[in-house]
Amino acid sequence: MTTFPALLQRELSRDPGRPLVTFYDHASGERSELSVTTYANWVAKAASLLVEEHDLERGDALCLDLPAHWLGPVFLGAAWSAGLVVVGAEEAGTAEAVVCGPGSVAEHAARAGDVPVLACALLPMGVRFAEPLPEGVHDVGVEIWGQPDSFIAFDPPEADDLAVRAPGLALSQSELWSAAAAGTLVTDGGRLLSAANPASPPELATFTEPLARGGSLVLVAHPDPARLESTSADERVTDRDQSTRS
């Protein structure tokens, strides 16, 4: 597979009901699970939000400044569905749009008059912020629900399109998925336990490898070392990355 849409379509055709992203927050007690189908629906809604509502175009840069959360992989997929380039918070000033969490809203609000700034409350079910956001900042929990469950890019991404850019790192869509298919974090069809942030360019592989290899990610925010073993057992984890090992 050389582009994200092609890879996601393959997984939808192969086993659409299997879990793809299972999210735990050990601090709040939240558990959310997205099957391949549910994930694809969220990706379509997020991609439509970025493209149809906020006019992003293939080749534009999207800054993802989210902590470890299931919405991270969703917005990664949305960006790559639309042919956008994912950049980290350190390159926010060069991005055509920003998606952030509650912890960095104030930091990005100053640019809301120049580029779309979309904020995620990171509450269960992706709901809206309880308190008003700074002027010009868009609440993802308000705007995403009215978007369609399918997305077809008017100008679809190609294999050579840049997918991610970070200091010392630049990968096209084909390079990204070739690396993911050859990765060693998870076995084919396995379940990877990770507390790393898949929306951060250095840690993208915690999501891209399970997707490319027909597996799934069990993502833990605010990990409690005393609960990692039970979480691993409950979710039938087959592989663990360094972030979940003592």
CATH number at residue 187: 3.40.50.12780
- For residue 135, what are the contacts with CB-CB under 8 A and spacing of at least 6? 109, 112
Q: Length of the chain in residues, anyone?
A: 246
pLDDT tens digits for range 190-233? 999 999 999 998 899 999 999 999 999 999 999 999 999 999 99
Provide the pLDDT for residue 245: 85
pLDDT band at 6; cut points 50, 70, 90: very high
- For residue 182, what are the contacts with CB-CB under 8 A and spacing of at least 6? none
Within 13 Å and on the Cβ side, how many CA atoms surround 18?
17
Encoded tokens for 176: 């990204």
Provide the pLDDT for residue 52: 97
Closest by CA position to 183, among listed 162, 203, 212, 160: 212
Tell whether the model's pLDDT for residue 1 goes beyond 80: no
Q: What span, in angstroms and rounded, lies between the C-alpha atoms of 240 and 114?
A: 41
Tell whether the model's pLDDT for residue 180 goes beyond 80: yes
Within 13 Å and on the Cβ side, how many CA atoms surround 78?
33
pLDDT tens digits for range 57-104? 999 999 999 999 999 999 999 999 999 999 999 999 999 999 999 999
Mean pLDDT of the chain: 96
Task: Let me know: does 243 contact 196? Beta carbons within 8 Å.
Answer: yes
Tell whether the model's pLDDT for residue 44 goes beyond 90: yes
Tell whether the model's pLDDT for residue 246 goes beyond 70: no
Mean pLDDT of 8-26: 97
Overall number of domains in the chain = 1
What's the domain range around 195?
4-244
DSSP tag of 53? I
Mean pLDDT of 41-54: 98
Encoded tokens for 126: 């992706």
Pairing assessment for the beta strands 162-166 and 117-119 based on DSSP bridges: unpaired
pLDDT tens digits for range 120-163? 999 999 999 999 999 999 999 999 999 999 999 999 999 999 99
Percent of the chain with pLDDT over 70: 99
Q: 200-237: b or e for each residue (b if 16 or more CB lie within 10 Å)?
A: bbebbbbbbbbbbbbbbbbbbbebeeeebeebbeebeb
DSSP tag of 52? I
